[in-house]
Structure 1
Amino acid sequence: MRKLPKRLKKGDLVGVIAPSSPPDQESLQRALPFLEELGLTIKLGKSVSATHGYLAGTDEERLADLHAMFEDPEVSGIFCAGGGYGAARLADKIDYAMIKENPKVFWGYSDISFLHTAIGEYADLVTFHGPMLASDVGKPEFHERSGRMFGQLFKPFELHYTEEVAPLETIIGGIVQGAMVGGNLSLIRSAIGTKFDLDVKGKILLIEDIDKEPYEVDEILNQMRMSRKFDEAAGIVIGDFKNAEPKKRKASLTMDQVFNDYFGALKIPVVKGFKIGHCEPHFSVPLGTLARLDGDAKTLTILPGVE
């Protein structure tokens, strides 16, 4: 298993960065008191207020922010302000040896999924797939349960996902254990054929996405099928697919049909309906720790992501 970052504690300094697109400033300002209520003090990176077209500053500026937060011995954790696009542009420029020497909490999702994969693979560090400040925490619909998920950063405990959170549906039953990896489906696909191609061998694959019509999800899953991702994975956790209704095409398969086409004949546990992704509540999970997916009982158990 990957290296666990140290748990956060009250009084810790945490960094806020924007590795992707410029965050909404009003939403970000509404979100910062949430971290303060957790007992944390905040160091804002330069990228959170920078703009370079659809990016939160140039690649060099965003990379410098990321490196500075990991290198700063006073910073105990790093939270991403938002997603959008651009994190992948940094991946082949990151100093992973430095991150490996300075392991700390790293939290985000969506476009940040590319960095989760890269940091996990090349810095051997457990990272966290969870709601971001401007994108989620600062929004009126931010759910209390989503907020409680930050508690896993302060005390090591197992996460138990049951249907008490939201209804689940088993596509393929069975029980499997393996490291949880993955995140945003589009970002997983974008890494195929690169040095950041997600290694799913013997692991539980998490997928989620937003604003993808069924045919677009179909296209991505087909590429993953042909690259043997589903043959290599030990199990599949299907998270939230927000705004997945057909728009361009009147004649369409449903998302359920698409999932059944690709997963229905597999010989590994596959469960869908997890509130993980662009949704409220958002069940945050560590990536790289051991997880147990029970397709029969419809439960997911994940070991702690901090030490």
Structure 2
Amino acid sequence: MTMKPARLKRGDTVGIIAPASPPNAKQLKKSLDFLKELGLNVKIGTSVYKEYGYLAGTDEERLEDIHCMFKDPEVHAIVCACGGFGTGRIVSKLNYDLIKQHPKIFWGYSDITFLHTAIHQQTGLVTFHGPMLSSDIGLDDVHELTKQSFQQLFNQQPIEYTNHLSPLETVVEGEASGPVIGGNLTLLVNTLGTPFEVDTKGKVFFIEDIDEEPYKVDRMVNQLKMAGKFQDAEGIIIGDFHNCDPVKREQSLTLDEIFTYHIAQANKPTMKGFKIGHCSPTIAIPIGSIGRMNTYDQTFIVESGIEEKDEAE
């Protein structure tokens, strides 16, 4: 059963965590000012500034931050400072009963994809594949549309993605609807064969990635294809593949050739060109909300990921 978290209001407190790698401290500080401009208070997790190799603290410390933020009655939303590496190390140790008992906004992307997939599939909670604090909001040239994505947490309005946001292209014609699932291609492939394997059956499935050469994208998309993930999906959304250019080999297949070969075989409605992922702007998408895609008018409409809650609840 799908659960939507309560919307945010001015004066609410947002918990900041780093469940993967440590953030850039200067950029994080700038992004916290942005949250305060939205009328929000912030509470920093204890492991955010810790360093354990490429991780923001040990697995136990990062896990404890997640659990504490979900338990804390003063915290209304949990926002990830950045991605990086490491969420796959803690996903099997998460207390999903705790999360289900204290549903609240959970926001981030990239390496956070593993947590989105696991949390939504284990609890039914709608989570948000949205721009990071340190690596997106903390930049000097952050796009206004990236900032506007945070309004999804305050206003119960559908997300309407059309050609007005970026030029969209149809790969396979058709219409599709279903709960939205997906995220970073590398992390989605990492879920395969685990208890948290991404379930695309009846879903609108989206993928994105960064810094992966075409031959690596080919390998991962092929693995998802062989695992039946495109065939199971109702429709497919191809997000941004930033800096995914050939380096080792000058002669290469293009990403378009790769997507057409592997994904179009499923013959499911498919569009590409979405500014979802490691890009500017980057548009937030609620995972678990119902999405409706139409290649004929090139639209992707996703229901709001939040709901109104009575003060007494």
TM range (shorter): over 0.9
Structure 2 distance, partners of 1:282, 1:179, is: 20
Task: Give the C-alpha shift of residue 267 in structure 1.
Answer: 2.0
Spell out the pairing of 1:26-175 with structure 2 (5 A cutoff). Answer: 26-175=26-175
Q: Secondary structure at the match of 1:265?
A: helix
Moved more, 261-270 or 113-122: 261-270
Q: Secondary structure at the match of 1:121?
A: helix
In the alignment, the residues of structure 1 paired with residue 33 and residue 86 of structure 2 have an alpha-carbon distance, to the nearest angstrom, of: 26
What residue number does 1:265 align with?
265
Provide the C-alpha distance between the structure 2 equivalents of 1:265 and 1:112, rounded to a whole number of angstroms. 29
How high is the TM-score relative to the length of structure 1?
Answer: 0.99
Give 2:145's aligned amino acid: R
Unaligned runs of 5+ in 1: none
Aligned letter for 1:128?
F
Aligned AA for 1:42? Answer: V
Alpha-carbon distance in 2 for matches of 1:283, 1:89: 27
CA distance in 1, matches of 2:23, 2:214: 28
Contact 1:286 1:305 in 2 (8 A): yes
Pairwise mapping of residues 16-35 of structure 1 onto structure 2 (< 5 A)? 16-35=16-35
- Structure 1 residue 16 displacement after superposition: 0.2
2:220 partner letter: I
- Provide TM-score, normalisation by structure 2: 0.97
Give 1:231 shift: 1.1
Amino acid at match of 1:232: D
The residue number in structure 1 matching 2:198 is 198
- Name the SS for the 1:222 alignment partner: helix
Structure 2 Cα separation of the partners of residues 291 and 285 of structure 1: 10
The residue type paired with residue 173 of structure 2 is G
SS of equivalent to 1:249? coil
Distance 1:264 1:229 in 2: 12
Q: CA deviation at 1:263?
A: 2.0
How much has 1:74 moved relative to structure 2? 0.8
Deviations 1:218-255 (A, max 9, x none): 00011111111111011100000000111001110011
Which aligned runs of 4 or more in structure 1 are off by greater than 4 angstroms?
A: none
- Contact in 2 for aligned 1:293/1:300 (Cα 8 Å): yes
2:228 counterpart of 1:228: yes
RMSD: 0.7
Residue 88 of structure 1 deviates from its aligned partner by 1.2
Q: C-alpha displacement at 1:62, in angstroms?
A: 0.2
Cα distance in 2 for partners of 1:84, 1:222 equals: 24
**Aligned residue identity for 1:121:** Q
SS of residue paired to 2:279: coil
Q: In structure 2, what is the equivalent of residue 176 of structure 1?
A: 176
Where 1:42 maps in the other structure, the secondary structure is: strand
Instruction: Tell me the matched-pair count.
Output: 307
What's 2:210 paired with? 210
CA shift, 1:123, in A, is: 1.6
Equivalent residue for 2:248? 248
- Percent identical across equivalent pairs? 51
Is contact 2:293-2:301 (8 Å) kept? yes
Is 1:289 the equivalent of 2:283?
no
Where does the alignment leave 5 or more consecutive residues of structure 2 unmatched?
A: 308-313
